[in-house]
Chain A
Amino acid sequence: MGKSVSSNNNQPFVQHDVIAPSRPPSNLVGPVGWVREHLFGGVFNTSATILIVLFLAWVLPPFLDFVLFDAVWTGVDREACIFNEAHPIVGACWAFIKDRFSFFNYGTYPIPERWRVDLFFVLLAISIIWLLKLSLPRRDLGAIYSFIILPVISYFLLIGSPALGLPIVTTNLWGGLLVTVVVSAVGIVVSLPLGILLALGRRSTMPAAQVFCIAFIEFVRGVPLITVLFMASVMLPLFVPREFEPDKLLRALVGVALFASAYMAEVVRAGLQALPKGQYEGAMALGLSYGQMMRLIILPQALKVTIPNIVSNYIGLFKDTTLVVIVGLFDFLRTIETARIDPIWAAPTVSPTGYVYAAIFYFIFCFAMSSYARTIEQRLSKADKR
């Protein structure tokens, strides 16, 4: 730097200039320093790094060999994937997935009617993109489309309506991805409004509503989903008159929706509690009615801060849909379980292949949801940081 410290100091033993700081040792800065600090700082860190590298070297190559390099891509039955002289090492049997792909998607939905399922998937995809992509126009119309129009269309599309020329397809033929998507979509659409109602009831000043909501929420959250599904499957038919006996899918839908609502209620309650009391008092001072206060002031703010939690609740719900096999539904995972023990495809690597496929499927959906939640969280925290 060389800047003079003091101009009128002429003592010979006084340092006149600031000595430029010397550079840090070269092994503490730059890539070398980074590696030293982040990989080999101390005995413990170094051994951890070496162990992890060894572990990855031990696990990754066989995994890649199995999934990609030794995998079988074509074939029509187990012959393609069994060990023999022609190929002594057989990796993942993707031919099996290819062969059973439509079974995983539609279950036993009649083949000539499968276009209806495809159309349903397309309509659903439109609704999801319309709602989630914040830059798209008229997202209020998107909400009406998703929550009112789409359910009605889907009902007639999937079940059928002879008046419209669509043959009836009973729900015991549904299966695979279709069931997983229907159960999670119904759970997602029903649990939010029901959860909001329960949360408002729990915080209300009316003792009857409060007691009922607390009892319901704590009861459902205290028991495993399996027992709720058992209840929906064996007790629900007892509780309704004989002529209204619900089919299996409806029973599972009721169980999943009630279960998800109780969890959603607690998430929404946390959001409501996070709001300062002044918001309520301000709304009341303006003379808004309870409904107006909730709709215009409280809920928009409370739901906004809980969006990440709501989404992680949805992820849990999506994963939990795998449990509907307990009431005899053929969801996505169950179709894989069924196909993997089918003698036509009995080969040693078929089971792991099925599980890897299921894992990829669930991971993509859940990871996409949690990434979306993270993006929203960052957006919201940006808004709070003004």
Chain B
Amino acid sequence: MVDPRLSDAPGSQPAKVSPWRDPRWRSYAFQAVLMGVIGFLVYEAFSNASENLKRQKIASGFGFWDTNSGFPISFSIQHYSEATSTYGDAFWVGMVNTLLVAAIGIVLATFLGFIVGVARLSKNVLVAFVARWYVEILRNLPLLLQLLFWYNAVLKALPGVKDSIRLPMNSFLNTRGLTTPRPIPEDGLGWVGLTLLLGLVLTIAVRIWARRRQESTGQLAPVGWISFALLVIIPSLAFVVAGKPLGFDVPQAGRFNIVGGLVFQPEFLALLFGLVLYTAAYIAEVVRAGIMAVSHGQTEAAYALGLQPNITSKLIVIPQAMRVIIPPLTSQYLNLTKNSSLAVFVGYPDLANVFTGTVLNQTGQAIEVVGITMLVYLSISLSTSFVMNWYNRRVALIER
């Protein structure tokens, strides 16, 4: 007997399949079960949570946000005082501190990472050897161990205030941290800043114009010199004309204390050091992979066209390598930002430390506090990945 499914004439109805064997129905059934299970778990969690909170007499809600916090924070850029500030203020202090250490860390880690990454590919075997073992050692040790090492074994073991280590530019390093001259803006610095901003805008405009002109006529413009003039020479002139409106509060070493200056606390330094050195090892690997991803034929073709090595790397290798480097580089930046939450362990008052640490202990509002903290990190991550997706679509090779 012929299978009816095989003998179907074109245009006839497909054979009836029992819903149990129909992939469509099965998928509906599976999704219904999945949603049922998730719904049940969420419902259970909520009912248990409300019951447990009632029993522990914790009122849920965000009422604590405007209550006086009453605890000091050891490091804050903006104004914060334990007598008058609220938990909301503490949140903002923590958030700014997180962003501060992340921003400085990202800049320094990028510099160091690119240097080490290029050094790993160096023809000089000694340079390559040192870079390789830097990466191997730093990547294979937990970040927490490195932070504790910097904090407890290095910075805490520095000499006391009396025997501070003197660094160039009137800086002092001791067990209380690093003291450097504090820049004091005076009248007229705003104008210099404005010149710099204007120069930046003009530079971008000139670059766009130069590229358009080159694409249409093939003529090159001295973009480098113009940028240098706009960004360095004119602002420096403005600085001199305005009467050098920048003073420095230079720290003075007294008998028992160092007076004045800008103090970077050991907590901040340890966190910054640890994050920069650790992330730079990962960035170095990203950079190395990016450079190696540019096929050797590209370089050879450039040499065959008569381009010199430095022009080749500037115009041929780096643009192609950056396409490969930038996506993983961004995820390293995100990792650094997320890892800055390890500040808890060295006592730097970042968001995780201030909020999920002190505020949580004082208020007991576990769900709200942990929820807000996660939301902050989540929005940083998601917004970055949106920007990255946009960028990736823009630079992706258009393949046939």
What residues on A are CB-neighbors of B378 within 8 Å?
A: 219, 222-223
Quick check: is B194 within 8 A (CB to CB) of the other chain? Answer: no
| CB-based contact B34/A355 at 8 Å | no
- Please, which residues of chain B bring their CB within 8 A of the CB of A231? 370, 374
**Known contacts A237-B52, A238-B48, A319-B143; is A227 also within 8 Å of B124 by CB?**
no
Q: Is the CB of A226 within 8 A of B342?
A: yes
Whole-angstrom distance between the Cβ of B381 and the nearest chain A Cβ: 4
Q: Which A residues between 107 and 131 are near B, CB-CB below 8 angstroms? A: none
Choose the segment among B71-79, B134-142, B236-244, B250-258 that binds chain A (4+ C-beta atoms closer than 8 Å): B134-142
Binary interface profile of B, 345-370, with partner A (CB < 8 Å = 1, else 0)? Answer: 10000001000100010000011001
Task: List residues 332-347 of chain B with CB under 8 A from any CB of chain A.
Answer: 338-339, 341-342, 344-345
Q: Which of B38, B48, B145, B344 contacts A362 (CB 8 A)?
A: B145
Residues of chain A contacted by B356 (CB below 8 angstroms): 226-227, 230
Residue in B38, B48, B53, B123 whose CB lies within 8 Å of A241: B48
Most chain A CB within a 10 A radius of its CB, from B49, B55, B142, B338: B142
Complex alpha-carbon distance, A218 and B144, angstroms: 24
Q: Among A133-141, A200-208, A295-303, which stretch is in contact with chain B?
A: A200-208
Please, what's the 1-or-0 string for B141-153, where 1 marks a CB less than 8 Å from any CB in chain A? 1111100110011
The digit string for A174-214, where 1 denotes a CB below 8 A from any CB of B, is: 00000000000000000000000000000001111100100
A237 to B49, CA, bound (A): 8
Asked if residues B370 and A315 are in contact (CB atoms below 8 Å), the reply is: no
Chain B residues within 8 Å of A52, by CB? 126-127, 130
A288 at the interface (CB under 8 A from B): no
Asked if A143 lies at the interface with its beta carbon under 8 angstroms from chain B, I say no
Among A219, A222, A323: residue with most chain B CB under 10 A: A222
Question: Could you tell me if A41 and B123 are in contact, using CB atoms closer than 8 angstroms?
Answer: yes
A322 close to B (CB within 8 Å): yes
Q: Min CB distance, B127 to chain A, in Å?
A: 5
* Contact call A363/B142, Cβ cutoff below 8 A: no
- Of the residues A219, A358, A367, contact of B145 by C-beta under 8 Å: A358
Q: Which residue of B lies closest to A226 (CB)?
A: B341
**Measured CA separation A66–B285 after assembly (Å):** 31
- CA distance in complex: A81, B157 (Å): 16
Q: Chain A contact residues: over half helix, strand or loop, or mixed?
A: helix
Q: Is B320 interfacial (CB-CB < 8 Å)?
A: no
A residues 303-360 touching B (CB-CB < 8 Å): 315, 319-320, 322-323, 325-326, 333, 337, 348, 351-352, 355, 358-359
Verify if A58 is at the interface (C-beta below 8 Å from B).
no
**Does A270 count as interface, using CB distance less than 8 angstroms?**
no
* Contact B52–A355 (Cβ < 8 Å): no
Contact call A326/B124, Cβ cutoff below 8 A: no
Q: A206-B31, A238-B48 are in contact. Are A322 and B382 (CB under 8 A)?
A: no
Q: Which of B34, B44, B136, B152 contacts A208 (CB 8 A)?
A: B34
Known pairs A218-B382, A315-B140; A322 contacts B374 (CB<8 A): no
Interchain nearest-CB distance for B389 vs A (Å): 12
Contact present for A239 and B126 (CB under 8 Å): no
Given A48-B127, A53-B126, A221-B381, residue A355 in contact with residue B145 (CB < 8 A): yes
Q: Is A87's beta carbon under 8 Å from chain B?
A: no
Asked if B148 contacts A337 (CB within 8 A), the reply is yes
Residues in A neighbouring B289, C-beta threshold 8 A: none
Q: Which bracket fits the contact residues of A?
A: 35 or more
- In the bound assembly, the distance between CA atoms of A45 and B53 in angstroms comes to 66
Say yes or no: A326-B142 contact (C-beta < 8 A), given A48-B124, A230-B370.
no
A39–B125 Cα gap in the complex (Å)?
7
Q: Which residue of A lies closest to B58 (CB)?
A: A238
Q: Nearest Cβ in chain A — how far from B195, in angstroms?
A: 35
In the assembly, what is the distance between CA of A56 and CA of B374, in Å?
A: 44
Q: Contact at B52–A223, with CB atoms within 8 Å? A: no
Q: Are A367 and B144 in contact (CB under 8 A)?
A: no
The residues of A that contact B126 with a CB separation of less than 8 Å are 39, 48-49, 52-53
Contact (Cβ within 8 A) A362 B373: no
B27 sits at the interface (CB 8 A): yes
Inter-chain contacts of A48 with B (CB < 8 A): 122, 124, 126-127
Check if A234 sits within 8 Å of B145, measured CB to CB: no
* A159 at interface, CB cutoff 8 A: no
B303 contacts chain A at the CB level, 8 A cutoff: no
CA distance A333 to B38 in the complex (A): 37
- Does B45 count as interface, using CB distance less than 8 angstroms? yes
Q: Is the CB of B52 within 8 A of A242?
A: yes
Closest Cβ of chain B to A382, distance in Å, is 19
Which of chain A's residues have a CB closer than 8 A to the CB of B341?
224, 226-227
B30 near A: Cβ within 8 Å? yes
C-alpha spacing A207/B28, complex, angstroms: 10
**Interface membership of A28, Cβ < 8 A:** no
Cβ of B377 under 8 Å from chain A: yes
B-chain residues with CB within 8 Å of residue A41 when the two chains form the complex: 123-124
Given A52-B126, A209-B31, A322-B145, answer yes or no on A224-B377 (Cβ-Cβ < 8 Å). Answer: yes
Q: Are A222 and B381 in contact (CB under 8 A)?
A: yes
| A285: Cβ under 8 A from any B Cβ | no
Show 5 residue pairs from A and B whose CB-CB distance is below 8 angstroms, ordered by the A residue. A39-B125, A223-B378, A238-B49, A319-B141, A363-B141
Which residues in B have some Cβ–Cβ distance to A below 8 Å? Answer: 27, 30-31, 34-35, 38, 44-45, 48-49, 52-53, 55, 122-127, 130, 136-137, 139-145, 148-149, 152-153, 157, 338-339, 341-342, 344-345, 352, 356, 360, 366-367, 370, 373-374, 377-378, 380-382
Besides the known contacts A212-B38, A230-B373, 7 further A-B residue pairs in the complex with CB atoms under 8 A apart:
A37-B123, A49-B127, A208-B34, A222-B378, A224-B339, A322-B145, A355-B149
